[in-house]
Amino acid sequence: MKFFIDTADINEIREALEMGMVDGVTTNPTLISKTGRPFMEVAKEIVDLVPGPVSLEVVSLDTQGMVDEARILSKLGENVVIKIPMTTEGLKAVKILSEEGIKTNVTLVFSPLQALLAAKAGATYVSPFVGRLDDIGHNGMELIEQIVQIFDNYMFDTEIIVASIRHPQHVLQAALIGADIATIPFKVIKQLSKHPLTDTGIERFLEDWAKVPDKDEIFK
Ligand code: E4P
C-alpha cells in the first residue's frame, strides 16, 4: 500500500520523507492557503523535493480553463499530477489531459458511480473522501469497498487514493480493503507509529538497563 502525505507544509513533508512514509503528496487549495506562501513557489518546492507523484489542484470550473492550468502546472516537473474536481467539465478535461499523457487525480469523489466515470474518462487516480462522508453520517469506507470492487470487475488501471482521512482506523480499513493508496495528514502518520505498550515497554527496558553493571562503559 502506498502512503501519500496530504499536506503542503514543507517541514511535514521533509519529516515524513525521513520516516520513509512518503510515496507521494496530495495538496488542495485549502492546504496551500494554510502555508501562507505563494502557490507556484510552494508547488515547485514540493515537486522538486518529492520523488513520487505530487497532486496540484486546478481552480477553474470550465474544461478549457482546467486544461490551460494543467498544462502550466505540469511543466513544474514530471511527477506532477493534476487534480481535477469531479464534474462533467472536469471529466472532459481528464479525457483531454489523459490523451496528452498528463496524469490526473479526480477529486471530491463521493459515490462509486462518480469513480466509475472518472476511470472511464482516463483518470490516473480517483480520490474518494471518506472523512467528509463520515461527517454527514454516511459510511466512507463502504464507498472504498464499492470502488475497489468496480475497478476489479472491469480491470481499470485507475488507482484509488483514500482521501479525507481523519484517524488511524481509516488507514487500517483502507489497507484491509486493499485500496492502492491512502493520502494521510502528517498528524495521522505520526499516530500510526504509536502504541502505549510500546512506550511502557521502552520505559521498562530502560529501568532494567540501569541495573546492568557495565552499562556506562559499553558505548564510550
Ligand atoms: C485529498 O486529496 C484532499 O486533499 C483531502 O484528503 C481532503 O481532506 P479533508 O476532508 O480533511 O479536507
Residue in 110, 64, 124 with CA at minimum distance from that of residue 90 = 64
Which protein residue's CA is at the shortest distance from atom 12 of ligand 1?
Answer: 164
Residue at 213 is within a domain = no
Q: Which residues are catalytic?
A: 83
Give the structural domain span for 101.
Answer: 2-194
Residue nearest (by alpha carbon) to ligand 1 atom 11 = 164
Buried/exposed code over 18-29 (b: 16+ C-beta within 10 A; e: otherwise): eeebbbbbbbbe
84 within domain boundaries: yes
Q: How far is CA 162 from the centre of its chain?
A: 7
pLDDT score, position 50: 98
Query: Checking phi first, is residue 54 left (phi over 0); if not, alpha (psi -120 to 50) or beta?
Result: beta
Choose among 159, 76, 153, 144: nearest CA to 112.
Answer: 144
pLDDT at 220: 84
Give me ligand 1 centre to Cα 63, in Å.
Answer: 22
Query: What does residue 160 show for φ and ψ, rounded to 5 degrees?
Result: -95, 120
Tens of pLDDT, residue by residue over 138-188, are 999 999 999 999 999 999 999 999 999 999 999 999 999 999 999 999 999
Pick from 32, 83, 109, 129 the residue to mutate for probing ligand 1's pocket: most ligand atoms within 8 Å of its CB.
129
Q: The domain that contains 17 carries what CATH number?
A: 3.20.20.70
What Rg value do the Cα atoms of the chain yield, rounded? 20
> Would you say residue 203 lies in a domain?
no
207 within some domain? no
Query: pLDDT, tens digit, for every residue of 22-62?
Result: 999 999 999 999 999 999 999 999 999 999 999 999 999 99
Domain count, the chain: 1
Tell the residue number behind the cell numbers 492502492, with chain if given. Answer: 180
Residue 6 within any structural domain of the chain: yes
Q: What is the pLDDT of residues 69-86, one digit of tens each?
A: 999 999 999 999 999 999
Query: What whole-number distance in Å separates Cα of residue 182 and Cα of residue 158?
Result: 14
Model ipTM? Answer: 0.98
Amino acid at 47: V
The mean pLDDT value for 3-15 works out to 98
Atom of ligand 1 nearest to the CA of 132: 10
Q: Is 163 in the pocket of ligand 1 (CB under 6 A)?
A: yes
Considering the domain boundaries, does residue 199 fall inside one?
A: no
Whole-Å CA distances, 148 to 55, 61, 119: 21, 28, 12
Q: Per-residue pLDDT for 124 more than 90?
A: yes
Residue 186, domain member (yes or no): yes
Contact 141, 170 (CB under 8 A): yes
